[in-house]
Amino acid sequence: MNPDSLQRDLDLATQLLRTARKVAVLTGAGISAESGLATFRGAGGLWEGQRVEDVATPRAFARDPSLVWRFYNLRRANLATVKPNPGHYALVQIEDRLGDGFTLITQNVDGLHRSAGSRNVLEIHGSLRRVRCVGCGVVSDRGVESLPDLPHCVACGKMLRPDVVWFEEDLPDLVWHRACKAAGECDCFLVIGTSAVDYPAAGLIDLARMQTADVIEINIQPSAASSHATITLLGPSGTILPELIKRL
Ligand code: BJW
Ligand code: ZN
């Protein structure tokens, strides 16, 4: 994109954000890329060498829970080494301006939005930091502490699993309901660092659009969301978001 048109689009996006009373944001793995976490799809993707169906489905866990846990424990250990980046912090500043009119919906399971200080965060795909018992259903926050290759519940003795949403699983009801409400009620919907191919999360973009919200996309390359966006700002979110904040 040429620098003049980026400046023009940044100005337009600033206008839309300034006049919006309610803003909802959908983030994906791209916002954490500049913190050093791999994205899911494309070069260097998280699943490289490890097929997604081998690790992130209920069937995979039933077949080989140790393999699945090894994979998730590696990612949990990695979390201890990463920090939020300027993109995460810029979203905290937008929330500070809008207060209750701001909702951050994230597909990410890394917890970096909360670490940055975002408050109204809906983690629609769960969290790497939490575990859930397959027997009694108890959920506990284990942070980034190291867990055995096959952890068990202290209450009932059954296996624990990561509290994330695998393929073919439903999203958590209450959190999903809140995400739909926020997308359906906002004037401005920001879509940041997601390929927007994963449903039902990507459906939130259509939902916002149907309710006549303006959609501002931030991504280093066009995505499945681009044809639905009022504006696509091409560039890394760790640079583009602070630029937007400067103009607000
Ligand atoms: C930057 C940047 C920078 C880089 N700045 N940008 C066939 C089989 C099985 C399921 C299905 C199927 N067909 C359809 C389905 C449904 C499925 C689905 O949508 N699949 C599609 C992939 C086809 N959905 C589900 O299964 C959902 N459940 C469901 O529908 O239940 C009903 C059902 C019942 C029975 C059968 C079928 C359905 C649940 C989906 C849960 C998704 N879970 C995962 C794993 C979470 C746990 C974990 O982390 O281990 O969530 S998959 C993965 O994708 C992860 C992500 O949250 C999600 C979205 O990915 P994201 O964030 O967009 O990452 P990328 O890598 O795709 O994109 C990164 C973007 O960043 C790129 O655009 C870059 O350009 C950009 N970028 N650097 C800005 N610096
Ligand atoms: Zn239990």
The pTM of the full predicted model, rounded to 2 decimals, is 0.96
CA 52 to ligand 1 centroid distance, Å = 10
Mutate to test the pocket of ligand 1, among 40, 78, 123, 167 (most ligand atoms within 8 A of CB): 167
Mutate to test the pocket of ligand 1, among 40, 197, 234 (most ligand atoms within 8 A of CB): 40
Q: Map tokens 């939490």 to a residue.
A: 130
Q: Is 75 left (phi over 0), alpha (psi -120 to 50) or beta?
A: alpha
Q: Give the residue, by CA position, lying nearest to ligand 1 atom 59.
A: 198
Q: Does ligand 1 come within 6 angstroms of the Cβ of 193? A: yes
Q: Give the residue, by CA position, lying nearest to ligand 1 atom 24.
A: 199
pLDDT at 2: 73
CA 16 to ligand 1 centroid distance, Å = 28
Buried-exposed string 126-135: b where 16+ CB fall within 10 A, e elsewhere = bbbbbbbbbe
pLDDT averaged per 10 residues in sequence order, the chain, 248 residues: 86 96 98 94 64 84 93 93 98 97 98 98 98 98 93 97 97 98 98 97 97 96 97 98 96
Q: Does ligand 1 come within 6 angstroms of the Cβ of 48? A: no
Q: Is 1 exposed, middle or buried (0-12, 13-18, 19+ CB in 10 A)?
A: exposed
Asked if 84 and 116 count as a contact pair (C-beta separation under 8 A), the reply is yes
> How far is residue 44's CA from residue 37's CA, in Å, rounded to a whole number?
10
CA atoms 75, 128, 206, 12: torsion sign: negative
Phi, psi angles (nearest 5°) of residue 226: -60, -40
Per-residue DSSP letters for the chain?
A: --HHHHHHHHHHHHHHHHH-S-EEEEE-THHHHTTT---SSSTT-TTTTS-HHHHSSHHHHHH-HHHHHHHHHHHHHHHTT----HHHHHHHHHHHHHGGGEEEEE---S-HHHHHT--SEEETTEEEEEEEETTT--EEE-TT----SS-B-TTT-PBEEEEE--TT-PPPHHHHHHHHHHHHH-SEEEEES----STTTTHHHHHHHHTT-EEEEEESS--TTGGG-SEEEES-HHHHHHHHHHH-
Which tokens sit at 216? Answer: 């501002």
pLDDT at 43: 65
Atom of ligand 1 nearest to the CA of 30: 71
Per the residue annotation, which of 113, 125, 152, 177 is the catalytic one? 125
pLDDT at 106: 99
pLDDT at 32: 98
pLDDT at 47: 56
> How far is residue 61's CA from residue 24's CA, in Å, rounded to a whole number?
34
pLDDT at 163: 98
Ion ligand 2: residues, CB < 5 A: 133, 135-136, 153, 155-156
pLDDT at 88: 98
CA 149 to ligand 2 centroid distance, Å = 17
CA 126 to ligand 1 centroid distance, Å = 13
pLDDT at 96: 97
Asked if 176 and 201 count as a contact pair (C-beta separation under 8 A), the reply is no
CA 157 to ligand 2 centroid distance, Å = 6
Q: Is 88 a catalytic residue?
A: no
pLDDT at 3: 76
